[in-house]
Amino acid sequence: MTRGERLTRRHFLTAATAVTGGVGAVAAAVPFVSSFRPSARAQALGAPVEVDVSKLEPGAVLKVEWRGRPIYVVHRTEEMLGMLGRDADLLADPDSAESIQPGYARNDHRSVQPRFLVVEGVCTHLGCAPLPRFEVAPADLGADWGGGFYCPCHGSTFDLAGRVFAGVPAPTNLPVPPYRYVNDSTLLIGADAGIA
Ligand code: FES
């Protein structure tokens, strides 16, 4: 049985009651920076969203909204990046061959620069919001959990690059939206890196 299957079995029946407690636990464990919101007009048009990551602490996640979808921007530490290769053989789509991302994010870290991950916070199973769970070996996810995203709805799990583990309901990795760097500390989400 894969790790994903074990987690799914353990969590599926209790997911409904675990959601509230899970959210609280995450809020305490992962610094969640307040959302940046574009103007209503920009949102309506689906305009790119500019995000300042200069104050995003290592290990923290920033939630923004683009085209009505939640986007997670994660400042990965060296330790978090080091975890990416550890579980490659447990992933359903380690090379992101079946998943949605721009070509420039189809790599081991699924990002333009390794340090910042940008993924949609939308589970590829039925669209719930996966929770950032960056702590290593928490009691509820098990001793072999190296950090990633956990969807409480039906127990899907993703690594720190948003790659889905085998044996869970979600079929593919978390999508990566188009984005590019305006400068070293500013991302433009919704603007493709291939477009100036
Ligand atoms: S929506 Fe079913 S596991 Fe995420």
Tell me the pLDDT of the chain (196 aa) as tens digits.
Answer: 566 665 555 544 333 333 333 333 344 456 666 555 555 665 556 789 999 999 999 999 999 999 999 999 999 999 999 999 898 999 999 999 999 999 999 999 999 999 999 999 999 999 999 999 999 999 999 999 999 999 999 999 999 999 999 999 999 999 999 999 999 999 999 988 654 4
Q: pTM for the whole thing?
A: 0.81
Ligand 1, residue 123: give the atom nearest the CA: 4
Tell me the CA–centroid distance for residue 84 and ligand 1, in Å: 22
| Strands 32-36, 157-158: pairing kind | unpaired
Tell me the CA–centroid distance for residue 181 and ligand 1, in Å: 31
Tokens of 78: 């060296």
Give the residue whose CA is nearest to atom 1 of ligand 1. Answer: 126
- Asked: is 3-189 a CATH 3.50.50.60 domain? The reply is no
Cβ atoms of residues 160 and 84 within 8 Å: yes
The domain spans of the chain are: 3-189
Write down the pLDDT at residue 3.
62
Q: What kind and span of H or E run contains 187?
A: strand 186-189
Q: What is the DSSP letter of 18?
A: H
Write down the pLDDT at residue 60.
97
